[in-house]
Amino acid sequence: MSLMKLLGTPTRRLLWMSPCRIGTVFFKCFATSNQNTPTKNKYDYDLLVLGGGSGGLACAKEAVEHGARVICFDFVKPTPVGTKWGVGGTCVNVGCIPKKLMHQASLLGEAVHEAVAYGWNVNDQNIKPDWKKLVKSVQGHIKSVNWVTRVDLRDKKVEYVNSMGVFVNDHTIEYKTKENETKKVTAEYIVVAVGGRPRYPDIPGATEFGITSDDIFSLEREPGRTLVVGAGYVGLECACFLKGLGYDPTVMVRSIVLRGFDRQMSELLAAMMVDRGVTFLHTTIPTAVVKQPDGRLLVKYLNTSTLAQNSEIFDTVLWAIGRKGLIDDLKLDAAGIKTKNDKIVVDGSEATNVPHIFAVGDIIYGRPELTPVAILSGRLLARRLFAASNQLMDYADVATTVFTPLEYSCVGMSEETAIQKHGSENIEVFHGYYKPTEFFIPQKSVRHCYLKAVAEITGDQKVLGLHYIGPVAGEVIQGFAAALKSGLTIKTLLNTVGIHPTTAEEFTRLSITKRSGRDPTPASCCS
C-alpha cells in the first residue's frame, strides 16, 4: 500500500541529505485553506523559477498543478544589434518555431517549381519570396504565442516577473522592479532554467557587424549574400533556408560538419547542400569583419590547413559557432552553485550541489540542448518535488532532427559510437538508398536519400541507432524513437508491414548490410 493511501492525505517528498544523498523521506501535509504549514510560513514561495523558457515554464506550471506557490522570473538581454523578445525562451522566439517556419517557407518555393511537372500552370519565372512579409508573418505568430503564454501563466496562478533574478543566498533572489526598486523574495526550492545564447568569436568587428540566430528571424532587411560561420545544425539549417529563399549562403567550417552526429550521415547531408548550391569554406576561421563604405562587410579569414589568408565581401555575417549558458549575471557564487564550462553541474535528479537548488534545460552541463528534453525534465522535477513522484528523466536515446531541405533525423547511437562501445565485430549496419515516390515526376535527385539501422550482430539484433535522410525526416523518426526505447530489433523491424508508398516503410525493407558488400541502391519500388 502506498504511503499516500496509508495516510489518507497528500505527501511531500523531501531529500534525505547525507554525504552521498542516499534516500528520501516523506512527511504528512495537512491541507488548510491558507496553506499555513511551517514551511509555508518560512518562505514566500514553494518554488522559484529563474527563466521563462520551455523547461522553466513546464516546471512552474506542473508545480502549480500540485498545489505549489510559484513565481517565475524571465528576462531577455538584447543582442548587440538590439534584438529582444517576449516570454517563451529560445524555442518560441528565436529557435525551433521561427526556424521551422522559415524552413517551410523555403520548401514551399521549391514545391511551386515542382508543381509545373505535376500539371499546374505556374509561371515560375516570376516566383520569388518577400523577405519583409515573411518576417512579419513569423513575428506575428511568435507574438501570438507570447500572449497565449502570459495568459496561461495567469490562469494557472504562476506569478510572472519580467525581470532578472539574481542570487543573494541559496534561498533568496533579488530583482529590480519596473520602477527600479530593489526587492527580494525567498523560496523553499529554486530551479535555474535560464538557457543559453549564441557565442561570438573574439575577433575585430564580430559583435559590431555580425548577427546570430537570435537576430536572423526578425532581420528587417534582406540578408543577401550571407556568410554562416559554423557548421553545427543551427548553421546548416540557416544556410539551407536562406538558399531556399533565393539568397546566396556560404558556410565556413572550422573542422567538420555536424560534430557529434553520425559521420557518414553528416557528410552525406553536406554533399546534398553542395548539390543545391550552398558554398563551403573548409578548415577556415574568420579573423576580422570590416564594414565597407557601402555598408557591406569585408570578412578576412585564414585557411588553417594552408595558412593562406583571404577575404570576401558579404551582405550579412551570421555567427553559429555554438552557445554558452547564461550564468554570468546570476551571482551563482552567492548560493554556492558549482558550474563547468558556462553550465550548471547537476546529478541524475537535476539537483545541483546545493540540495534544494535544481537546474533544467540548456543550462545543464552535458545534457541534450533540446526543447522536449527541457519540458519533460522540468515536469518530472516538479512532480518529484510536489507530487511524491520518484521518476527521473531518461536522457538516453533522444531523437533529433536537422531541418535541412532533405532533413536528417536520428535516434540512438551513431555508427562510430556503437563501434566504440561494442566493437566493430559485434555491430551490424543495415543500410540502403531509396526513391521517394514524390520525386519521380519532377525528376528530383535521390542520390542523398539514405537510411541505416545500427544493430547488434547476434540474436534478434537489437537496434542501437536509426538514421534517416529524406523528406519530413522528423515525422518519420518520431515513431521509431518510441520503438527503439522499447527494445526494437531488426527481426521486429523486418517483420513489420510497411505503409505503401511511404518513405518510412523503407526501414521495414532494410535487408542489406554493409558487411555484405552488396549494392544498397533500390531496384524496384514495389517488390
CA-CA distance, 444 to 434, in Å (whole number)? 13
Please calculate the CA angle 38-40-43 and round it to the nearest 5 degrees: 110
CA-CA distance, 181 to 165, in Å (whole number)? 13
Beta-carbon-side half-sphere exposure of residue 482 (alpha carbons within 13 Å): 5
236 carries a ligand binding annotation: yes
67 carries a ligand binding annotation: no
Q: Tell me the Ramachandran region of residue 256: left when phi exceeds 0, alpha when psi lies from -120 to 50, beta otherwise.
A: beta
Pairing mode, strands 23-28 and 45-50: unpaired
Q: How many CB atoms lie within 10 A of CB 53?
A: 30
114 carries a ligand binding annotation: no
233 carries a ligand binding annotation: yes
Phi, psi at residue 344, to the nearest 5°? Answer: -100, 135
Rg of the chain over Cα atoms, rounded to whole angstroms, equals 26
For cell 518554488, the residue is 47
Phi, psi at residue 243, to the nearest 5°? Answer: -65, -45
DSSP 77: P
DSSP 196: E
By the 8 A CB rule, do 410 and 478 touch? no
Q: Is the peptide bond preceding residue 501 cis, with omega within 30 degrees of 0?
A: yes
CA-CA distance, 25 to 68, in Å (whole number)? 19
- The grid coordinates of residue 373 equal 528534453
Pairing mode, strands 159-161 and 70-73: parallel
100 carries a ligand binding annotation: yes
By the 8 A CB rule, do 448 and 275 touch? yes
Angle separating helix axes 54-65 and 131-155, nearest 10 degrees: 20
Q: Please tell me whether residue 200 adopts helix, strand or coil conformation.
A: coil
Closest of 77, 81, 342 to residue 207, by C-alpha: 81
232 carries a ligand binding annotation: yes
By the 8 A CB rule, do 453 and 429 touch? yes
322 carries a ligand binding annotation: yes
Q: For the purposes of burial, counting CB atoms within 10 Å of the CB of 432, is it exposed (0-12), middle (13-18) or buried (19 or more)?
A: buried
Angle separating helix axes 54-65 and 371-386, nearest 10 degrees: 30
Q: Please tell me whether residue 78 adopts helix, strand or coil conformation.
A: coil
CA-CA distance, 301 to 226, in Å (whole number)? 15
505 carries a ligand binding annotation: no
CA-CA distance, 343 to 327, in Å (whole number)? 7
- The grid coordinates of residue 449 equal 536519400
**Catalytic residues, which ones?**
500
Phi, psi at residue 446, to the nearest 5°? Answer: -115, 10
By the 8 A CB rule, do 78 and 214 touch? no
Feature table: binding site for NAD(+):
230-237, 322
Feature table: binding site for FAD:
100, 165, 362
Feature table: binding site:
100, 165, 230-237, 322, 362
